[in-house]
Structure 1
């Protein structure tokens, strides 16, 4: 095979890795949010973890790592499933515990740079 073939192959692989790398891991695409939505204790437990006010489950630790970037990029690296899950959870949190949502916003967007765009994202139906 020619050098040109290998160069093209390397370029294709590089492009594929960039595209795949632009999304968060699909590990949590099928995360069961039902317990969060049905049990305020669990929902507030996650919130306390995100605010450094309580312990974190392994899943919560993973989510906590991406919160700043997800907020700043308006879930730009979220798969469609992840975006939908986030919308449902955040809408529930805002409705049932607005004070907790405000604390999260104050922590992760203290300069209020990203709130307007994130609110627009939350209003979108997919």
Structure 2
């Protein structure tokens, strides 16, 4: 599947970032406007509203896989920030749950 988000580098080592608690925190801080964003993170952040509203329909399988890991690890390690994330990116509370279901098998 081709992604509409071709400015997101699927070859970047997202696994290391998402599974390292310190790097995950830095990524989350970027997304929550609490910290610095790298160029890669800025590209991802720019697409978050669309990805959430569309259930990541325009994401490729790699992007869906890393989105699933991101949400699982954030909920586990940073539950308060996960709630902040939901308030920031899913104002009406309708989309994030269905997004997580849509990417649950990736």
TM range (shorter): 0.7 to 0.9
Contact 2:52 2:95 in 1 (8 A): yes
TM-score, with normalisation over the residues of structure 2?
0.86
Give the direction of change, closer, same or farther, for the CA distance of 1:27–1:70 in structure 2 (3 Å limit). closer
How far residue 24 of structure 1 moved from its aligned partner, in angstroms, is 1.4
* Structure 2 residues without counterparts, runs of 5 or longer: none
Residue 52 (str. 1) matches residue 33 (str. 2): yes
Structure whose residues are more often helix by fraction: 1
What is the alpha-carbon distance in structure 2 between the residues aligned to residue 40 and residue 120 of structure 1?
Answer: 24
Aligned length in residues:
106
Question: Which runs of 5 or more residues in structure 1 are unaligned?
Answer: 1-18
Instruction: Confirm or deny that 1:76 pairs with 2:92.
Output: no
SS at match of 2:74: helix
In the alignment, the residues of structure 2 paired with residue 80 and residue 39 of structure 1 have an alpha-carbon distance, to the nearest angstrom, of 22
CA distance in 2, matches of 1:112, 1:24: 24
| 8 Å CA contact retained: 1:51, 1:107 | yes
**TM-aligned CA deviation for residue 36 of structure 1:** 1.9
Q: Over alpha carbons, which structure has the higher Rg?
A: 1
Q: Which has the higher contact order (CA 8 A, sep 6+)?
A: 2
Please report the RMSD computed on the Cα atoms of aligned residues, expressed in angstroms. 2.0
